[in-house]
Structure 1
Amino acid sequence: MGPDVVAPEGTRWIDLGDKLARLADLARTLDLDTVVLREPANLAWLLGARVNVPQTLDTACLDVVVHLDGGHAPAALTVVTNAIEAPRLRDTELAGLGEACDLSWAVVPWWEPRDGQLPTGPRVRCDRALPDSAAVGADLAALRRRLTTHQQHLLTDVCRDAASAATAAALTMTPGTTGYAAAGELARQLLERQLDPIVLLVGGTDHLDAHRHPLPLAEPVGPRALLVACGRRHGLVASVSRIVSFAPLNDEQRDAYARLLQVEQVFLDGSRVGARLGDVAAAGCAAYGEQGFDPDEWHRHHQGGLSGFAPREFPAHASSDVVLGDGAVVAWNPSGAGWKVEDTTLVLPDGPRPLVADGRWPSVQVGGRQRPDVLVP
């Protein structure tokens, strides 16, 4: 699926039944009649749509009430939104939803809160606090952490296009390109591929080792630059980091980057169905010392974690008890000595599958996988 076609006609709601069936199973387990979705990640999982207006807010422009009747009848949906967003949602993000399920709308004036339209009671649960209703956030997080087959295909396309955008942006750069100009080009390339840029970082030579989250600056990047982006489409997020050097790497630089890829290999090797997330993180962090970095290098930046419908749900650490399931998504980002590597990886029964790849970017084989090398234009 290329940048000109986001989703083939007729496939948009193809896995809605699968997701509603998961919610019905949850209703039977918890003896529920209704689940209310308010968290953007949960709404994006269910709808595969843009549920925000400002990218910077952690609140959505709609809520969805899922009527489950104890899980013993076909689920029905009520979209709760305001009069500003309702026409746009009907025409664009949720077009055709009413043909895929029993759908109703509750629309309030823009000056009124939506809370009054949301059900409460002992047989209602919500992923955010509602009066007289129990929370169900952890249960819903577990559901969305297993991508449907359709979502796996969509994420593969999102990651491929994010990789292509990063390559295209890097190939326009020179040592005199400012951080803002590089970020602008990266954003343009993402948007041309119908990816919303939700994270844009650019680090120049003087900041690569000191700053792990380098916001763009007005100064030139210099001899080496780091591009970082998170692009979102269908609610699914691809995370990508790429390094471009405007001079060949010397032996010391080449060795440092190779050792960092060995650290990444430990994270990737551990990302298997049934693995405890904290064990994967602990092994990856221990690999820094094993590969000749400062053993505490991992203290200077989080190493990544669960992804899918957010760049990271939370930074993984040794105490993270989540168990990776079939269809989980992780994004690891080891860094050290001015180098960084990052990918978005699908966890499958036959092993981890890194997805962010573009044939135009140079690669090197590490642990039986093709991993991104440093681009020297």
Structure 2
Amino acid sequence: MTTLTGRAAVSTDRPHKLARIADLLDRRGATAVQLTSGASLSWLLDGARTSVPLGGPPVFSAVVRVDGEIVVTAPRNEAERLAEEEIGGAEIHPVDWFAPLAPPVEGVVDEAELEAELRAARASLLPVEHERYRRLGADAARAMTEVLAEATPEMSEFELAGRLAHAILARGAEPAVVLAAGAARGGLQHPLPTAAPLGDRAMAVATAKRDGLHVSLTRWVRFRGSEPDGAPRVLEVEADAWAATRAGRALGDVLDDIAASYRRHGFGEDGWLRHHQGGPTGYAGRDPKAVPALRDRVAENQAFAWNPWAPGVKVEDTVVLDGAGGVEVLSADPAWPRIDVRGVARPATLEVG
């Protein structure tokens, strides 16, 4: 099979991404980089679907040169599909299905050597990306509302999760994460669904992926009973997290402020240690997960999914922060009940029945 030309559409944002790569290569004194991660490949190639199993490793790699040339290496059994449906504006070199996808190339820097720089290059959303993100966020939020509005106390966590995965797929997205917790399991940080019934109160968590972008959100539904007293306080922690996420700040410093917020709102000294807090998102669910002392800097027009948690309470949405305290909630549905927290509409618990 000869070299193919990727025929999928190329967005108007591509030249800006290539310019960002050229800049970081110039700063490193390099002439090309070999991209191998799903996040970088999908970012550069306009949201191309990079894997076959959901969440699996990419089935191709790409060498990007400082002059903007892109050469993709893909197995023969994937190359034609990729050229037709996923990849545009690049040469595609087919290789045997058992051949290495990213063999070392003399003079080409491996992505691992530029990991932090590439994260920074992906961070600030370009116009096409931002609009795609808005559409995905709206679709994911509507899917969540649709499913939870039909939930019942007798429904199992498996059924709730299955309905949510179906609703996401029906909107042309992939369910990268689907979690469900009934009343008996609402204190778990990552409640993989089980056969347990939902009972009095339930939590659903989803990450939907489309065009390479990830939208994460958490919602609660209640059939009877009352809200835990931590519910309004965890919303205050989230508001503090957004206020701390200002352009130019190191993510480790933002996390320090979040830890202090847990203490200030009555969740104890170790409240923030009991679950990860989320962080930047975009072409990876967490890009990266915020950890102490992380020096990655907050960028203008960057997406975040902070997820403050305490036993029985959690809040999470995907937002774009303008770097000056402004918040655009991407994963909001006007049909979902809301409460005002410092001027931003936040999700209340949906009462059903």
User: TM-score band, normalised by the shorter chain?
Assistant: over 0.9
Q: Is the 8 A contact 2:252 2:295 kept in 1?
A: yes
CA deviations on 1:283-311 (whole Å, 9 max, x unpaired) are 12222222122332222111111211111
Which letter does structure 1 place at the counterpart of 2:281?
S
Secondary structure of 1:313's match?
coil
Provide the C-alpha distance between the structure 2 equivalents of 1:213 and 1:114, rounded to a whole number of angstroms.
33
What is the percentage of aligned positions where both structures have the same residue? 36
Q: Is the 8 A contact 2:61 2:102 kept in 1?
A: no
Matched, 1:163 2:150: no
Secondary structure of 1:115's match?
coil
Q: Is the 8 A contact 2:179 2:191 kept in 1?
A: yes
Provide the C-alpha distance between the structure 2 equivalents of 1:67 and 1:259, rounded to a whole number of angstroms.
50
1:352, CA displacement in angstroms? 3.1
Provide the C-alpha distance between the structure 1 equivalents of 2:336 and 2:220, rounded to a whole number of angstroms.
10
Q: Is the 8 A contact 1:324 1:347 kept in 2?
A: no
Aligned match of 2:336: 361
Q: Is the 8 A contact 1:305 1:315 kept in 2?
A: yes
Aligned match of 2:197: 220
1:12, CA displacement in angstroms? 4.7
Q: Is the 8 A contact 2:22 2:65 kept in 1?
A: no
Provide the C-alpha distance between the structure 1 equivalents of 2:333 and 2:266, rounded to a whole number of angstroms.
30
Secondary structure of 2:350's match?
coil
Q: Is the 8 A contact 1:159 1:355 kept in 2?
A: yes
- Of the two structures, which has the highest relative contact order with CA contacts closer than 8 Å and spacing of 6 or more? 2
Matched, 1:151 2:126: no
Q: What TM-score do you get using the length of structure 2 for normalisation?
A: 0.93
Provide the C-alpha distance between the structure 2 equivalents of 1:177 and 1:212, rounded to a whole number of angstroms.
21
Which letter does structure 1 place at the counterpart of 2:21?
L
Which letter does structure 2 place at the counterpart of 1:125?
V
Provide the C-alpha distance between the structure 1 equivalents of 2:24 and 2:288, rounded to a whole number of angstroms.
24
1:269, CA displacement in angstroms? 1.2
How many residue pairs get aligned? The number is 343
Provide the C-alpha distance between the structure 1 equivalents of 2:249 and 2:304, rounded to a whole number of angstroms.
12
Q: What TM-score do you get using the length of structure 1 for normalisation?
A: 0.87
Secondary structure of 2:177's match?
strand
* 2:285 paired residue among 307, 311, 324: 311
Structure 2: stretches of 5+ with no match in the other structure: 1-7
Provide the C-alpha distance between the structure 1 equivalents of 2:270 and 2:29, rounded to a whole number of angstroms.
47
Q: Is the 8 A contact 1:271 1:352 kept in 2?
A: no
Q: Is the 8 A contact 1:282 1:317 kept in 2?
A: no
1:236, CA displacement in angstroms? 0.4
1:173, CA displacement in angstroms? 0.6
Describe how 1:133-148 pairs up with structure 2 within 5 A: 135-148=113-126
Aligned match of 1:261: 235
Aligned match of 1:119: 105
* 1:337 paired residue among 311, 328, 350: 311
The root-mean-square deviation of aligned C-alpha atoms, in Å, is: 1.7
Provide the C-alpha distance between the structure 2 equivalents of 1:337 and 1:32, rounded to a whole number of angstroms.
49
CA deviations on 1:261-290 (whole Å, 9 max, x unpaired) are 111110011122122212221212222222
1:346, CA displacement in angstroms? 1.1
1:114, CA displacement in angstroms? 2.4
Provide the C-alpha distance between the structure 2 equivalents of 1:147 and 1:88, rounded to a whole number of angstroms.
28
Secondary structure of 1:45's match?
helix
Aligned CA distance change for structure 1 residues 165 and 12 (closer, same or farther; 3 Å): farther
Describe how 1:137-286 pairs up with structure 2 within 5 A: 137-209=115-187, 211-247=188-224, 249=226, 253=228, 255-286=229-260
Aligned CA distance change for structure 1 residues 67 and 237 (closer, same or farther; 3 Å): same
CA deviations on 1:20-45 (whole Å, 9 max, x unpaired) are 11112223222222111111111111
Provide the C-alpha distance between the structure 1 equivalents of 2:142 and 2:10, rounded to a whole number of angstroms.
24
Q: Is the 8 A contact 1:269 1:352 kept in 2?
A: no
1:221, CA displacement in angstroms? 1.2
Aligned CA distance change for structure 1 residues 185 and 22 (closer, same or farther; 3 Å): same
